[in-house]
Amino acid sequence: MASGSGQPAFTPLAAKSPFELRVDLGKHVGESEVRRALATGDMGFLHSFTTGSTVDGCGVRVVAWTAGCMWRCLYCHNPDTWTMGNGIPLSLTRATDELRKYRHGLRAMSGGFTLSGGEALMQDRFAVKLLAAARAMGIHTALDTNGYYGDRLTDEELETADLVLLDIKGWDPERHRRLTGMDIGPTLAFARRLAARRRPIWLRFVLVPGWSDDPHEVAEIARFAASLGTVERVDVLPFHQMGRFKWKRLGLKYELDAVSPPAPEAVERACAVFRAEGLHAY
Ligand code: SF4
């Protein structure tokens, strides 16, 4: 059975991948309830849970994808996660119970839990509480973020993430603004703060031909990453078109139709720039 939005009347929390288009699942939640959720973190809005990820932190991981993001990256492959109201509203207790099912397996596989999005720190209270709950179960935790709202977390709260997957999407401020809609400053400030507190970082960098592949800019990002001293790994992620269908289905103007994924040699060249700074890049 389908609802008026085209979604099944009951959408399961688990998804095969975040590439499932999900809309309006939290639309019925009133504004005051949303405000209370944001203030307390006792309820969150999630696009989905996925299991078995090997690309969102060390080992095999369960990933919770939050709904809500204030950035507008031209290459975003999950624009349905921009709006909190598209996510499934669920209590912190239910999210924790869901995670509890996997705790033994995750520990056995030296894996963990990753909170991603959307932008997980749009729901910073929920993020901190869910990460803390995971840690209390002995599960390794990772926070995948663009860092823009990093200052919403106290130093103590930063410790709820054993690892931060920090997305740096560009270097030139003007180009970064055109690519993401937002300033790069807060992301870099968050990176420096993590480094000052000796928090482990995996840096993620999406290589988009014509947008983020300028060798000078890649070199600047690599120098910055190396200067932090706590970047354990760099993932150079090739741009792809897997999310294009979502833009079309949501009626959004997609500007990267004509952009092809980078050649493997271009990805390797970018990795080499990071390696030249002494970083482990893949
Ligand atoms: S920060 Fe992530 S979720 Fe937000 S628009 Fe960019 S790619 Fe999409």
pLDDT tens-place string over residues 33-74:
999 999 999 999 999 999 999 999 999 999 999 999 999 999
The closest residue, in CA terms, to atom 8 on ligand 1 is 76
Q: Which residue has the tokens 């929390």?
A: 13
Of all protein residues, whose CA lies closest to atom 3 belonging to ligand 1? 118
What spacing in Å lies between the alpha carbon of 29 and ligand 1's midpoint?
A: 23
- pLDDT < 70 regions, the chain: 1-9
| Protein residue closest via CA to atom 2 of ligand 1 | 118
Pocket test for ligand 1, best of 21, 73, 179, 204 (most atoms within 8 A of CB): 73
Burial class, 216, CB count within 10 angstroms (exposed 0-12 / middle 13-18 / buried 19+): exposed
How many Å apart are CA 139 and CA 106, to the nearest integer? Answer: 7
Residue with the smallest CA separation from ligand 1 atom 6 is: 73
pTM score, whole prediction: 0.94
Protein residue with least CA distance to atom 7, ligand 1: 76
Would you state the pLDDT for residue 9?
53
Q: What is the pLDDT of residue 1?
A: 37
Q: For ligand 1, what atom is nearest to the CA of residue 181? A: 5
| Angle between the N-to-C axes of helices 264-276 and 215-228, in degrees from 0 to 180, rounded to the nearest 10 | 40
pLDDT of residue 214: 96
pLDDT attached to residue 3: 41
Q: How far is the CA of 104 from the centre of ligand 1 (A)?
A: 31
Q: How far is the CA of 44 from the centre of ligand 1 (A)?
A: 18
Residue in this structure with the two tokens 């200052």, named with its chain if needed:
151
Which residues surround ligand 1 with Cβ inside 6 Å?
69, 71-73, 76, 78, 81, 117-119, 146
Whole-number Å distance, alpha carbon 49 to ligand 1 midpoint, is: 17
Contacts of 143 (CB under 8 A, 6+ apart): 114, 115, 120, 121, 127, 131, 160, 161, 163, 164, 165
The predicted structure's pLDDT at residue 4: 41
d(CA 216, CA 17): 35
